[in-house]
Every structure is written in structure tokens, then in C-alpha cells.
């Protein structure tokens, strides 16, 4: 365990198992109604989750990345979200899966759903690895959730603090003295 981590919440094995389960559920839900899925990952946090999830899906996939700024400064969550990168073109009539690392304020997922809906996709679903156990996250509709976690500052498996710790193979809580 990295010295800056207080404790591990989700192990690499738990992540791998859950990503496989989520992919199987997505495949089952889309079944024969979709021949392909357009994945819209929110960069940069979702890169590890996206890569593992995409490899587990058997449908043909397209990937159209987007960047959303909702963590200014020291990467602590804010209530506002702004699309910094462009949404993928040509999603009219397609089945779209928004892929993100964590659902906390709900701002990112709500903003992307609204923006994508304007392009008339066949369907839109949210897929997050983590959902914090706070009202704003729990009240935000999301079809696929990997793990519900406590309201702690977490890093690893794509999640960062000031662009560090993304490469940790697990999800861990950052020691409070590191970000206080």
C-alpha cells in the first residue's frame, strides 16, 4: 500500500470482478436492441475503468471522449460542471453509455445526459465505478454502479489528487494530512 493511503476500500480483485459483472449486465440489458454501443468516457479519471470495461463488452463499440471540469484547484469536488472537451459527433440514434469514475455531486452526469440528449440518441445510460453515499449522488439517476462508498476522498484506478495516484491498482482513501 502506498504511504499516502490511509486504507484500501476496493482491491484490484474486487474491481476486476465488478467490472466483469457490470459489462455482463450492460450486455444483457442491451441484448438484441443494439448492435453497437457508443462509450462516452469522462477524461481523465475514467481511463482505467473505460479500458477494462470496454475489453469486457462483446458489442461493437465506438468511443468518443469528453472532458468535464468539475474539480478545480486542488481537485476537491465542486457543485458546478462545465464541458471542456467536445462531445462525440454522430450519436443520433445510437445507444450511448456515459462512463465515469465517480458519482458524487451528480453535476457531471446530469450535464452530459442533457447535452447528449440534444443529439437524439436511441438511449442514454450512466455507468460509474463508484458512487459516494451522499444525497446528491444517490438522487442522481445512474443505471450501472460498481460500488457504493463512504464520503471520503479516494484515489487510485484513475482517480487522482492533483494528478497523482491515478496509477494505484486499488481504490484507497487518501490520508487527510495530504489534502488538508
Report the SS3 class of residue 23: helix
Report the SS3 class of residue 68: strand
Query: Is there a contact between 113 and 100 (Cβ–Cβ < 8 Å)?
Result: no
* Cα–Cα distance measured from residue 52 to residue 48, given in angstroms and rounded to the nearest whole number: 6
Catalytic residue among 104, 148, 162, 163: 104
> Active-site residue 52, yes or no?
no
C-alpha closest to that of 103 among 51, 63, 45: 45
* Cα–Cα distance measured from residue 26 to residue 154, given in angstroms and rounded to the nearest whole number: 26
Looking at the annotation, which residues are catalytic? Answer: 104
Amino acid at each position: 500500500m502506498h504511504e499516502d493511503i490511509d486504507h484500501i476500500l476496493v482491491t484490484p480483485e474486487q474491481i476486476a470482478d465488478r467490472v466483469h459483472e457490470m459489462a455482463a449486465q450492460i450486455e444483457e440489458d442491451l441484448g438484441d436492441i443494439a448492435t453497437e454501443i457508443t462509450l462516452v468516457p469522462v477524461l481523465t479519471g475514467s481511463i482505467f475503468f473505460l479500458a477494462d470495461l470496454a475489453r469486457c463488452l462483446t458489442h461493437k463499440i465506438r468511443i468518443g471522449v469528453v472532458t468535464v471540469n468539475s474539480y478545480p484547484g486542488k481537485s476537491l469536488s465542486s457543485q458546478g460542471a462545465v464541458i471542456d472537451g467536445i462531445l462525440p459527433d454522430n450519436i443520433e440514434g445510437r445507444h450511448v453509455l456515459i462512463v465515469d469514475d465517480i458519482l458524487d455531486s451528480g453535476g457531471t452526469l446530469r450535464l452530459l445526459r442533457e447535452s447528449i440528449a440534444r443529439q437524439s440518441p436511441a438511449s442514454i445510460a450512466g455507468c460509474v465505478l463508484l458512487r459516494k453515499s451522499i444525497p446528491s449522488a444517490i438522487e442522481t439517476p445512474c443505471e450501472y454502479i460498481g460500488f457504493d462508498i463512504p464520503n471520503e476522498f479516494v484515489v487510485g484506478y484513475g482517480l487522482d489528487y492533483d494528478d497523482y495516484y491515478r496509477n494505484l491498482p486499488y481504490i484507497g482513501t487518501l490520508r487527510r494530512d495530504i489534502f488538508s
